[in-house]
């Protein structure tokens, strides 16, 4: 099963876009070419370009956490959307503007700047017919996470609304796929040339006296550490499980995004495992013990439900580290997780298995993740 884009192609897309966005003046038509929209009329092409220019000016020099221009995310998300299948102008606009209400807010600008930006936005949306105008604003509203809304509440709201507006699921899948692939941007690869499955085979089936040699120096000051990467995988697992448990009908394009998100999550999980094994837990016997322990947990059905029995270290993982009341609490919980490298390794292997299940079993869900909430059960 091939993803719509692999890691290397994602790096290339990001590099080309970043190069164009660093130009003076910016070649916005070249940016549009990288998005690769299909079958747009000349009028719609100009509308999409005008929207991208608006986003470029609205985000300005604002940066993402890892350093690239913030406008890269909506543009790249739109590029992922078009690679999943035929895309209408309305879907492109929705995806480009999906973070507008969260990111482009009045408090970031002077009064004059805000008035000008809002005027430009209104000019853009007036160029689509009245029905598309209404639908666009509705979809942007649906895709916006509200203040004090938990991630689970946000996803359930979005999924319920998708019953009448199914296109927003495709936009959200593209958004999660971009955010997941972006986790590699500050690392390129943890272990250049390493095949995680080969590493696992070597640990389990050969007489290895130590882990493989680390090929690049370890930098402990990265802005997104292993625990934060695992949290992103938690968000992906909740989203994919809810799509399944709530019976969301995915079209071909959305299914390709679903599968690509599962594949990118597997890769991220295995790279996190490699990183822990190469830099923090290099004893082969400990590595083998982790792999055998998680394999036993999987075989006992541990990955098919949210568990709190406490008979295994992975029981209660979601509840203990990833579900939170406020961001300060989440930060403290992720710091605690980051300090437990053995649990991080186990969680990474477990996530790889979870997303493999999503990819290979069309009926797979995580019992306990539902529209009513995340409700742990005893195994």
Residue 280 has pLDDT above 60, yes or no: yes
pLDDT at position 219, please?
Answer: 57
Instruction: Give the model's confidence band at 289: pLDDT under 50 very low, under 70 low, under 90 confident, else very high.
Output: very high
71 in Cβ contact with 178 (< 8 Å) = no
Q: What domain range is 123 assigned to?
A: 7-143
Residue 210 has pLDDT above 80, yes or no: no
Residues 355 and 212 in one domain: yes
Residues 213 and 341 in one domain: yes
The H or E element that residue 186 is part of is none
Calculate mean pLDDT across residues 118-141.
Answer: 92
pLDDT at position 379, please?
Answer: 45
Flag whether 155 is in a domain: no
Flag whether 118 is in a domain: yes
Q: Count CB neighbours of 171 within 10 A.
A: 28
DSSP code of residue 219: -
Flag whether 161 is in a domain: no
Tokens of 305: 């439900």
Residues 130 and 232 in one domain: no
Instruction: Give the model's confidence band at 228: pLDDT under 50 very low, under 70 low, under 90 confident, else very high.
Output: very high
Residues 87 and 200 in one domain: no
Flag whether 302 is in a domain: yes
Calculate mean pLDDT across residues 185-212.
Answer: 72
Residues 256 and 304 in one domain: yes
Residues 268 and 190 in one domain: yes
Tokens of 140: 């942007």
Flag whether 165 is in a domain: no
Instruction: Give the model's confidence band at 218: pLDDT under 50 very low, under 70 low, under 90 confident, else very high.
Output: low
Calculate mean pLDDT across residues 109-116.
Answer: 96
Q: What is the spatial distance between Cα 195 and Cα 314, in angstroms, rounded to a whole number?
A: 25
Closest CA to 241 of 367, 83, 107: 367
Residues 48 and 197 in one domain: no
Flag whether 116 is in a domain: yes
pLDDT at position 193, please?
Answer: 61
pLDDT at position 159, please?
Answer: 96
Beta strands in 147-240 (DSSP E): none
306 in Cβ contact with 369 (< 8 Å) = yes
Q: Residues 6 or more apart from 109 whose CB is under 8 A from it?
A: 117
Per the prediction, the chain carries an average pLDDT of 90
Query: Considering the chain, what percentage of its residues have pLDDT values greater than 70?
Result: 91
Q: What is the spatial distance between Cα 92 and Cα 102, in angstroms, rounded to a whole number?
A: 18
Instruction: Give the model's confidence band at 147: pLDDT under 50 very low, under 70 low, under 90 confident, else very high.
Output: confident
What tens digit of pLDDT does each residue of 239-254 get?
999 999 999 999 999 9
Pick the last residue of a domain from 120, 143, 166.
143
Flag whether 2 is in a domain: no
Q: What is the spatial distance between Cα 55 and Cα 37, in angstroms, rounded to a whole number?
A: 17
Residues 104 and 211 in one domain: no
pLDDT at position 206, please?
Answer: 86
Query: Can you give the CATH number for the domain in which 33 is found?
Result: 1.10.3210
> Tokens 């719609």 — which residue?
44
Bridge partners for 370 per DSSP: 373
Residues 132 and 203 in one domain: no
Residues 302 and 227 in one domain: yes
Residues 134 and 241 in one domain: no
Pick the last residue of a domain from 143, 169, 192.
143
Task: Provide the number of structural domains found in the chain.
Answer: 2
Pick the last residue of a domain from 95, 119, 143.
143
Residues 122 and 260 in one domain: no
Calculate mean pLDDT across residues 52-58.
Answer: 97
Name the pTM for this structure. Answer: 0.94
pLDDT at position 98, please?
Answer: 97
């Amino acid at each position: 099963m091939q993803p719509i884009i692999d890691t290397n192609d994602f790096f290339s897309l990001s590099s080309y876009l970043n190069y164009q966005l660093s130009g003076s003046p910016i070649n916005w038509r070249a940016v549009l070419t990288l998005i690769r929209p299909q079958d747009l009329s000349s009028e719609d092409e100009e509308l999409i370009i005008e929207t991208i220019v608006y986003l470029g000016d609205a985000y300005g020099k604002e940066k993402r956490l890892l350093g690239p221009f913030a406008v890269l995310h909506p543009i790249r998300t739109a590029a992922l959307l078009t690679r999943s299948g035929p895309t209408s102008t309305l879907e492109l606009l929705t995806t480009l503007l999906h973070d507008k209400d969260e990111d482009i807010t009045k408090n970031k600008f002077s009064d004059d700047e805000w008035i000008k930006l809002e005027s430009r936005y209104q000019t853009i949306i007036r160029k689509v017919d009245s029905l598309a105008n209404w639908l666009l604003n509705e979809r942007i509203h649906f895709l916006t996470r509200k203040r004090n809304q938990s991630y689970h509440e946000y996803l359930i709201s979005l999924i319920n609304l998708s019953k009448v507006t199914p296109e927003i699921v495709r936009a959200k899948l593209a958004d999660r796929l971009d955010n997941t692939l972006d986790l590699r941007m500050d690392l390129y690869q943890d272990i250049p040339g390493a095949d995680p499955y080969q590493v696992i085979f070597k640990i389990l089936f050969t007489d290895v006296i130590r882990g493989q040699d680390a090929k690049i120096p370890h930098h402990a000051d990265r802005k997104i550490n292993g625990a934060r990467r695992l949290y992103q995988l938690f968000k992906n697992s909740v989203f994919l499980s809810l799509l399944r448990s709530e019976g969301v009908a995915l079209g071909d394009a959305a299914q390709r995004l679903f599968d690509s998100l599962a594949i990118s999550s597997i890769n991220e999980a295995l790279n996190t495992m490699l990183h822990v094994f190469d830099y923090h837990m290099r004893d082969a016997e400990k590595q083998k013990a982790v792999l055998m322990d998680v394999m036993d947990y999987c075989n006992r059905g541990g990955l098919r439900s949210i568990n709190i029995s406490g008979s295994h270290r992975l029981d209660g993982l979601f509840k203990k580290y990833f579900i939170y009341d406020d961001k300060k609490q989440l930060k403290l919980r992720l710091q605690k997780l980051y300090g437990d490298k053995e649990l991080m390794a186990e969680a990474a292997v477990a996530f790889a298995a979870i997303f493999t299940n999503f990819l290979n079993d069309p009926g797979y869900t995580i019992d306990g993740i539902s529209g009513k909430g995340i409700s742990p059960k005893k195994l």
